[in-house]
Amino acid sequence: MGKAITVRGKSVEQAVETALNILCLDLSDVHIQVNKTAESSGFTGASRFAEVTVTPVRFNGPASDLHAEETGQAGLRIRDGHIEMHEASAKSYPTIEAGNGVSVIINGEKLDGRRRISESDIVHIRTIDELTRAQLSITVREQGALALLTVSPGKKVTRTVKNTEYERNLTVVAEEIHEIVNDCSQRMIRDACTQLGISAPLDKRVLWEACETVVPYEAIVARGIFPKPGLDGDVEVQIDVDGSTLADEGKVNYREQTSVQLVQNGQLVAAVLPPIPGQSGEDVFGNEIIAEDGQTATIRLGRNVTQTGNHIFANCSGNLILERTDNVIFIDIADSLEMEEVNFSSGNIHFDGDVTVKGSVSHGCLLEATGAVEIGGEVRKAEVYAQKAVYANGHVSSSTIEVGQQLTTDAKYAAELETLLPILSKLGSFIQDIGAFREVELSALDGQELKKLFRIGFGEKYSSFQEQLQTFTQRREPIATDPDWSELQTTLYSIFVNTMNPGVRDGVEFLELISKAEEMAARHLPKAAITTGRLRIPYAVNSTLNCAGTIEITGNGLAQCNVHAQLDLLAEGVCRGGELAADRHVSIRECGSKRGGQTIVRTKEEGSIVIGIAYPGTVLIVGDQSYHLSETLIGVTAKLHNGLLTVR
C-alpha cells in the first residue's frame, strides 16, 4: 500500500476527485474511506465539508515469463503502458526515468530524475499530449489602405508509451504523432477586424482560404481606396520624332525615322503642361487618405528658344535638346549636331547647321547639312551632302559626297520641277492654240477634255512623260517645308496619271497651275552657285565626289572614281581609273596604271593639269582638246597656249 492522503471537499465526489488529481491516479488504483459526509444547517446556514482518506493500492502487473536464471539480474519493461518487473535473486533493484512527454508516478509522487523501484512500489505512466491553437494577426499597411491577414495553423502532438524489453536502467520513451490543427473560423477573423475598427468589405475568398489552410498563410483581407498622386508639370515635345515616312512603293522607310529631333526657326517645339492635383483615397477604417498634388515644372530655357505663355518656340534651326536633371527641365536648340554614328538606328540626317559624326556613315544612309560635316570614320555605300565642307578621316567606298552644291529640301523639289516646266509650258501653249482654233474661251475646256487633248498631243511619248512626272509627284523624302509642294504634286498626278480625277476644272485653271509651278521653282532654286566649299578625304574607291570649291585627297588616292571640283583637285596619292575633273587646276602625284587602263583627267580651257608620274592610258583633256599618253611621263604639265593644247 502507498501513502494515504486525507482531502476535504464540498461533497464526497469533489474530495475524491481532488485526491485523484493530487495522486495522479485513477479510481481503480486507490482505496477510498469516507470519514465525514457534507452537511448543512437550514437554521444557521453553516455547512460541514466532506472528508475522505484515499490510499493507493499495490500495483499488480501481469506475471512475467522471464525467469531469474535466464536473466541473472533485475529488469523492467513496458507493455501496453504498464510496467513489468523481474527481480533477480541478488535483490539489485532496477531504475526508471521519464523521457520527453512522459510523466511517471511512483506511489502517488511524480518522478523527477532517475529512481530505483521495487515490486512494492505502485508505478503509473501518463503521457502528456500537446495542443497549440492557430494564431491569427491583422496588420494595416500602405497608409491604412491594406489590411494584411496572417494565419499560422496550430499543432497537436499525441503521445503513446513505447513498449520495451527488460532493461536494468529503463527510460520511458513516448512515440509521437503530429497533426496540423487549424481551429481558426471566419467568425474569429471578422471579430478581430471589428475590434480593430476595420469597416472595409472583407474578401470572402481570403476568409475561406485562411480557415482551410494547413500551412502559414498571408493575404490581403480588406482593401481601402489608394490615393492617386497628382502629376507634376511637364514639357511635351510638339515635333513628330517617331513618325514614319512612306517610300514610293507605299512601304515605310525606317531610315527616315531619325532619332535626332530637328526643328526649324520659329517652329513650336514644346508645350508646358500644368500640374494635375491628386485624388484622395480611403483607408480600411473609412478615413480619408490625403493625396500629394503635382508640382509645377521648373523650366530652364537655353539661348535659342523663347517661351510665350505655355508654348516654347525655336529661335533658330537646329537640334532640339531636352534634358531632365534634379526636377529641372532644360530646353535648348543646338545650331550644331554631334552624333556617334549615322546608321539604321539614327536614321537619315537632314540638319540645318554643322554636323560632327564621331564614327562612320553606314550602308544606305543619307547625311545632309547646310553647314560643314566632319566624319571621324568611314563612309560606306552612303550619301553625304554639305553646303560648306566635308572632312572625312576614313576611307570612302561606293558612296556619293557633294559639297557646296547642297540644295535645301525645297530646292531639290524645285530642281526636279524645273525639268518638267518646258513641257508644261508647251502644253499651256497647246491648249491656247486649241481654244483659238475652236474660237472658244479656255474656261469651256473642262478637265476631262484636257486630259484627252494631252494624250493626243503627246502621242507615243505620253507614257515616258508619265514616268518622268511620277518621279516628281511621288517624291516624299526629304519632307519639304513648303506645304504647297504636296498640293502641286497631287494636282499634277490627278491630271496626267489618275484617270478618275480631272485635277483642274478647265483650261484657265490649268494655266494658273503652270504659273504657280514656275513661281515655286523660281522661289526655291538657289540664286547663285557657291564656290567656297572644301572636300578632304584620304582615299576613295568607286565613288562620286563633287565640290563647288576644292577637293583634297590626302592619303592613298582614288580608284575608279568620278570627281569634279569647281576650283582645284589636289591628290597626294595614286589615281587610277574613272574621270577626274577640276575647272581651275588639277594636281596629281601619280596617275594611271603600269598595266594600262584609261584614266581621264579634265579641266576647262583656262585651267591647267600637273601630274608627277603619268602612265600610258592617261587621257588629258583641256577644254575641248585631248591628249592620250602612250608612254610613261614624269613631270607632266598640260594647258592651252594660244588655243592649242601643250603637254610637256
How far is 273 from 470, CA to CA, in rounded Å? 44
Report residue 444's pLDDT band, with 50, 70 and 90 as the boundaries. Answer: confident
For residue 90, pLDDT beyond 70? no
What is the model's pLDDT at position 529? 55
Report residue 244's pLDDT band, with 50, 70 and 90 as the boundaries. Answer: very low
What is the model's pLDDT at position 346? 82
What is the model's pLDDT at position 601? 95
What is the model's pLDDT at position 479? 67
- Three cell numbers, residue 30: 486507490
Say whether both 565 and 626 belong to one domain: yes
For the purposes of burial, counting CB atoms within 10 Å of the CB of 347, is it exposed (0-12), middle (13-18) or buried (19 or more)? buried
The stretch 420-436 carries a mean pLDDT of 89
- Three cell numbers, residue 527: 540664286
The stretch 75-86 carries a mean pLDDT of 84
The stretch 262-271 carries a mean pLDDT of 85
What is the model's pLDDT at position 33? 85
Average per-residue pLDDT in the chain?
84
For residue 71, pLDDT beyond 70? no
Say whether both 86 and 22 belong to one domain: no
Give me the domain span that covers residue 213: 67-224
Report residue 252's pLDDT band, with 50, 70 and 90 as the boundaries. Answer: very low
What is the model's pLDDT at position 91? 58
Candidate from 44-53, 96-105, 180-189, 422-431 with smallest mean pLDDT: 44-53
Say whether both 404 and 416 belong to one domain: no
What is the model's pLDDT at position 225? 94
What is the model's pLDDT at position 197? 94
How far is 475 from 407, CA to CA, in rounded Å? 15
Report residue 530's pLDDT band, with 50, 70 and 90 as the boundaries. Answer: low
In a domain, 62, yes or no: no
The stretch 224-232 carries a mean pLDDT of 92
The stretch 447-456 carries a mean pLDDT of 85
Say whether both 36 and 107 belong to one domain: no
What are φ and ψ of residue 242, in 5° steps? -100, 10
Say whether both 49 and 73 belong to one domain: no
What is the model's pLDDT at position 395? 95
In a domain, 61, yes or no: no
> Degrees (nearest 5) of the Cα angle 157, 158, 163?
130
What is the model's pLDDT at position 3? 66
Say whether both 395 and 543 belong to one domain: yes
- Three cell numbers, residue 529: 552657285
Greater pLDDT, 631 or 48: 631
SS3 of 530, please? coil
Where is the domain boundary, 286, 313, 334? 334
Alpha-carbon distances, residue 613 vs 563, 570, 589, 630 (angstroms): 19, 14, 6, 13
In a domain, 447, yes or no: yes
CA within 13 Å, CB half, 353: 17
Say whether both 577 and 437 belong to one domain: no
In a domain, 229, yes or no: no
What are φ and ψ of residue 589, in 5° steps? -70, -45
Alpha-carbon distances, residue 572 vs 471, 560, 579, 591 (angstroms): 40, 16, 16, 10
SS3 of 569, please? strand
Q: Quick check: 344 and 362 in contact, CB under 8 A?
A: yes
The torsion angle over the Cα atoms of residues 601, 388, 486 and 515, rounded to 10 degrees, is -70
| Structural domain count of the chain | 5
For residue 591, pLDDT beyond 90? yes
The stretch 495-508 carries a mean pLDDT of 84
Task: Describe the strand order of the beta sheet including 154-161 as a list of residue ranges.
Answer: 130-132, 154-161, 174-181
For 329-390, the DSSP string reads EEEEEESEEEES-BSTTT--EEESSEEEESS-B-TT-EEEESSEEEESS-EES-EEEESSEE
Say whether both 185 and 305 belong to one domain: no
Cβ neighbors of 509 (< 8 A, separation 6 or more) are: 447
Question: Which amino acid is located at 438 in the chain?
Answer: R
Candidate from 462-471, 506-515, 580-589 with smallest mean pLDDT: 462-471
Question: Which amino acid is located at 355 in the chain?
Answer: V
Please state the pTM of the whole predicted model: 0.49
Question: Which amino acid is located at 604 in the chain?
Answer: K
For residue 439, pLDDT beyond 90? no
For residue 26, pLDDT beyond 60? yes
- Percent of residues, the chain, with pLDDT higher than 70: 89
Say whether both 130 and 109 belong to one domain: yes
In a domain, 108, yes or no: yes
How far is 361 from 341, CA to CA, in rounded Å? 6
Say whether both 304 and 328 belong to one domain: yes
For residue 251, pLDDT beyond 60? no
In a domain, 24, yes or no: yes
Q: Quick check: 582 and 599 in contact, CB under 8 A?
A: no
What is the model's pLDDT at position 67? 36
- Three cell numbers, residue 189: 477573423
The stretch 586-592 carries a mean pLDDT of 95
In a domain, 345, yes or no: yes
Report residue 49's pLDDT band, with 50, 70 and 90 as the boundaries. Answer: confident
Report residue 47's pLDDT band, with 50, 70 and 90 as the boundaries. Answer: low
What are the tens digits of pLDDT across the range 571-588? Answer: 999 999 999 999 999 999
What is the model's pLDDT at position 74? 60
For residue 89, pLDDT beyond 70? no
CB atoms closer than 10 angstroms to residue 483:
7
**CATH number where 251 lies:** 2.40.50
CA within 13 Å, CB half, 491: 17
Say whether both 416 and 393 belong to one domain: no
CA 198 to chain centre: 40
For residue 173, pLDDT beyond 70? yes
Q: Which residue has the cell 553646303?
A: 387
DSSP-H helix ranges across 152-294: 186-196, 204-212
**Long-range residue pairs from 371-380, CB within 8 A, at least 24 positions apart, any chain:** 371/336, 377/341
Where is the domain boundary, 305, 334, 363? 334
> Degrees (nearest 5) of the Cα angle 521, 527, 531?
135
In a domain, 466, yes or no: yes
Q: Which residues of 202-348 form beta strands (DSSP E)?
A: 217-223, 234-237, 245-246, 252-253, 262-263, 268-273, 281-282, 288-289, 298-301, 305-308, 311-314, 318-325, 328-334, 336-339
Where is the domain boundary, 189, 224, 259? 224
What is the model's pLDDT at position 45? 45
Say whether both 469 and 364 belong to one domain: no
For residue 256, pLDDT beyond 60? no
**Long-range residue pairs from 288-292, CB within 8 A, at least 24 positions apart, any chain:** 289/143, 289/144, 289/145, 289/224, 289/225, 289/226, 289/227, 290/227, 291/227, 291/228, 291/229, 291/230, 292/227, 292/229, 292/230
Q: For the chain, give me the number of helices (H) and strands (E)?
A: 10, 52
